Amino acid sequence: MNTKILIPTQLFVGRTELLAEKTEQFLQEQFCKNQSQNIQSCYCNECRKIKNHQHEFIVFISPEKDYTVKDLDIIFEKANFALDQNQKFFFVLQKAQTLSSTCANKLLKILEEPPAGYNFILQTNNPTSILPTILSRCHVTNFSNKNPEELDYAAEYSSLTSFFYNQNLDNPADFEKELRKLELSDSQSIEILNSIINFYAKKILWHHEGKNPQEHIEYSESVYKFLNEKLKKAPQSGSSGLFWKNIYISFPKFARK
Ligand SMILES: [Zn+2]
Q: How much is the pLDDT for 154?
A: 62
What's the gap in Å between 64 CA and the centre of ligand 1?
Answer: 30
What's the gap in Å between 39 CA and the centre of ligand 1?
Answer: 6
Indicate the residue type of 243: F
Q: How much is the pLDDT for 81?
A: 93
**What H or E segment, with its residue span, contains residue 241?**
helix 240-250
What's the gap in Å between 231 CA and the centre of ligand 1?
Answer: 51
Q: What is the rounded CA–CA span in Å between residue 52 and residue 226?
A: 49
Distances (CA, A) of 24 to 32, 46, 50, 73, 88: 11, 11, 7, 23, 15
10-residue block means of pLDDT along the chain (257 residues)? 70 88 92 81 92 96 91 95 94 93 91 93 84 80 55 68 88 94 86 83 74 82 91 82 94 81
What's the gap in Å between 31 CA and the centre of ligand 1?
Answer: 7
- Decide: 131 and 99 in contact? Cβ < 8 Å: yes
Q: What is the rounded CA–CA span in Å between residue 151 and residue 153?
A: 6
What's the gap in Å between 52 CA and the centre of ligand 1?
Answer: 13
Q: What is the rounded CA–CA span in Å between residue 134 and residue 104?
A: 7
Q: How much is the pLDDT for 206?
A: 73
Q: How much is the pLDDT for 27?
A: 95
What's the gap in Å between 20 CA and the centre of ligand 1?
Answer: 17
Which residues is 123 bridged to in the sheet?
A: 12
Which residues is 91 bridged to in the sheet?
A: 59, 120
Q: Terminal CA-to-CA distance of the chain, rounded, Å?
A: 41
What's the gap in Å between 21 CA and the centre of ligand 1?
Answer: 15
Q: What is the rounded CA–CA span in Å between residue 200 and residue 246?
A: 19
What's the gap in Å between 35 CA and the centre of ligand 1?
Answer: 8
What's the gap in Å between 89 CA and the centre of ligand 1?
Answer: 17
Q: How much is the pLDDT for 239?
A: 84
Q: What is the rounded CA–CA span in Å between residue 165 and residue 196?
A: 8
> Burial letters for 31-67: b for 16+ Cβ neighbours within 10 Å, e otherwise?
bbeeeeeebeebeeebbebbeeeebebbbebebeeeb
What's the gap in Å between 87 CA and the centre of ligand 1?
Answer: 17
What's the gap in Å between 119 CA and the centre of ligand 1?
Answer: 20
Q: What is the rounded CA–CA span in Å between residue 148 and residue 155?
A: 8
Q: How much is the pLDDT for 158?
A: 82
What's the gap in Å between 257 CA and the centre of ligand 1?
Answer: 48
DSSP 246: H
What's the gap in Å between 43 CA and the centre of ligand 1?
Answer: 6
Q: What is the rounded CA–CA span in Å between residue 123 and residue 114?
A: 18
Query: CB count, 10 Å around CB of 75?
Result: 21
Q: What is the rounded CA–CA span in Å between residue 234 and residue 242?
A: 11
Q: How much is the pLDDT for 40?
A: 76
- Decide: 55 and 49 in contact? Cβ < 8 Å: yes
Q: Which residues make Cβ contacts (< 8 Å) with residue 205, sequence separation at least 6?
A: none
- Decide: 92 and 121 in contact? Cβ < 8 Å: yes
